[in-house]
Structure 1
């Protein structure tokens, strides 16, 4: 085990950026250093910590478990130092050039990023947002490692491990093309079972809320096509006789809903609660708090009021 007296603390900022960027080149650019200097710093860290810390893969520099565990503490410590040095009220959205990284689904990117960018244009013209797409089973690791600032969506797999704020609720609806020869203005369970479907199967091991409901109710549908995201389903339905089940807000994300029939499903589905999630290390960060407020303003429908932040402890 390394002793803090044996570690050059200046190297910890290099560790922080290497975990965040997964690339010596990008870390060097973020730090304002040369690539050889970052490589030399990494070698010194490896010697002082007694661990490889990073291994090269075809996807970039992958941190070892030791690097990830160390990074969580380093990230929190660096944030405390920045807060102490810069002051708790140093973040000014009007002048800040900070980058925030958001985990959003394909639907979330289409639905909410335009409104967010309008808000930033008026209040924080130099702030940058970067939308990140990952399989749902990697969200927890990304938040814990500090690779992203926030995750937004219906994410029950995150449980109570993070601070969270409820933003809105949604529900599944049924879709058919307007001129479907066998589907009228309502959808019966018998017709739902008899027709062929396009199913949305997200990347990752966890089934979505609809699949869980169908299994619980022992309803079997005939799936003729599976796609990895909800935005593709309405376009496919409009040109075929397939049915689809999508969150109602997906329809809002479409440039046009002409040629589609939106129907209530013939069985009850649970509400899809959309939250924003963040790690405790960023809870008191002034810029982070500002961003959470902007997201809540843009995404929460009028009249919902403020929601209580929830922390599992």
Structure 2
């Protein structure tokens, strides 16, 4: 069985609304003969006469009466889908966006982002998810609208990226720790007992690579899966953690932070915003990206297309 001709739906709508072939023809700018042929095709497609002769006019069949209740809204909805999106009205916007990020983003930027969003679009909800790995599948399949983090070399080549801010690794210890006094050398850092942060699917930490280049290796007393857990151990033990400075600002409250030795030559980290191009034409998504950029970003950074 061949699929129905959906182009007949506006014709059906006009015929049922006007109740005459001539009226429907005028409404759609067709000749009466062309509208008569369209009515014949509709009768064949539906298996129903639809409009039946009664004296000098036409009356709808029971099936036509049933369809008349639905066809108008159906055609209007289809036409709306094929028009450019309406101008975004933030005060009336009702949406729920899912954002995925590593520990520290919500703690440092979440409250300001919620305030920014609520001030312009009170009907928008934000759903924050923890970023446990670097798999870009949630962005591709639409489960996640936005993601923040360092862009990995194996990220999906089609993903859009926008740099938010630059960060750097710092060492963190509890007050009174030997590394809390004076300048810290690479040898002193390597000799200390560390708590390492290991993200699923990632390779060695930058600190390990930098120490290895100097012929040094740090002692890892523990490995955890996130910044909050690492800093919780540092707070109550004679340990050191190396974490991104800006990304963990609120998590490091009450702890001593120090610059890593210059000879380690650890470059700055670029924290970026990532999304799938499926959202490029969505005005509400563009607005949300702008909110994130204003809350935690560097306005001079631009958008790039990877790949």
Q: Which bin holds the TM-score, normalised by the shorter protein?
A: 0.5 to 0.7
Shift of residue 133, structure 1, vs aligned partner = 2.3
Q: 1:264 aligns with which of 253, 259, 268?
A: 259
Structure 2 vs 1, CA of residues 280 and 208 (structure 1 numbering), >3 Å: closer, same or farther? farther
Shift of residue 233, structure 1, vs aligned partner = 2.1
Once residues 109 and 233 of structure 2 are traced to their aligned partners in structure 1, the CA distance between those partners, rounded to angstroms, is 23
The alignment status of 1:153 with 2:149, answered yes or no, reads yes
Greater shift in the superposed pair: 271-280 or 81-90: 81-90
Secondary structure in 2 matching 1:110: helix
- The residue that corresponds to 1:309 in the other structure is 303
Shift of residue 82, structure 1, vs aligned partner = 9.7
Structure 2 vs 1, CA of residues 89 and 264 (structure 1 numbering), >3 Å: closer, same or farther? same
Structure 2: which 5+ runs fail to align?
A: 5-77
- The residue that corresponds to 2:86 in the other structure is 89
Q: 2:163 aligns with which of 142, 158, 166?
A: 166
Once residues 157 and 215 of structure 2 are traced to their aligned partners in structure 1, the CA distance between those partners, rounded to angstroms, is 29
Once residues 299 and 86 of structure 1 are traced to their aligned partners in structure 2, the CA distance between those partners, rounded to angstroms, is 35
Q: Is the 8 A contact 2:108 2:248 kept in 1?
A: no
Shift of residue 149, structure 1, vs aligned partner = 0.8
Structure having the higher Rg:
2
Secondary structure in 1 matching 2:176: coil
Secondary structure in 2 matching 1:137: coil
- Name the Cα RMSD after superposition: 2.8
With structure 1 as the length reference, what TM-score do the two structures score?
0.67
Shift of residue 181, structure 1, vs aligned partner = 4.0
- The residue that corresponds to 2:12 in the other structure is none
| 1:231-270 alignment, distance < 5 Å | 231-254=228-251, 257-258=253-254, 260-266=255-261, 267-270=264-267
Structure 2 vs 1, CA of residues 282 and 248 (structure 1 numbering), >3 Å: closer, same or farther? same
Shift of residue 103, structure 1, vs aligned partner = 1.2
- The residue that corresponds to 2:99 in the other structure is 102
Once residues 4 and 278 of structure 1 are traced to their aligned partners in structure 2, the CA distance between those partners, rounded to angstroms, is 39
Residues 38-60 of structure 1 show CA distances to partners (whole Å, capped at 9, x for unaligned) of: xxxxxxxxxxxxxxxxxxxxxxx
Shift of residue 159, structure 1, vs aligned partner = 6.3
With structure 2 as the length reference, what TM-score do the two structures score?
0.68
Residues 163-192 of structure 1 show CA distances to partners (whole Å, capped at 9, x for unaligned) of: 111110000011122211465232111211
Once residues 272 and 205 of structure 1 are traced to their aligned partners in structure 2, the CA distance between those partners, rounded to angstroms, is 15
Q: Is the 8 A contact 1:112 1:299 kept in 2?
A: yes
Q: Is the 8 A contact 2:159 2:306 kept in 1?
A: yes
Once residues 250 and 124 of structure 2 are traced to their aligned partners in structure 1, the CA distance between those partners, rounded to angstroms, is 25
- The residue that corresponds to 1:52 in the other structure is none
The alignment status of 1:132 with 2:129, answered yes or no, reads yes
| 1:176-191 alignment, distance < 5 Å | 176-181=173-178, 183-191=180-188
Shift of residue 5, structure 1, vs aligned partner = 4.9
Once residues 102 and 275 of structure 1 are traced to their aligned partners in structure 2, the CA distance between those partners, rounded to angstroms, is 13
Shift of residue 211, structure 1, vs aligned partner = 4.1
Structure 1: which 5+ runs fail to align?
A: 7-80
- The residue that corresponds to 1:142 in the other structure is 138
The alignment status of 1:223 with 2:217, answered yes or no, reads no
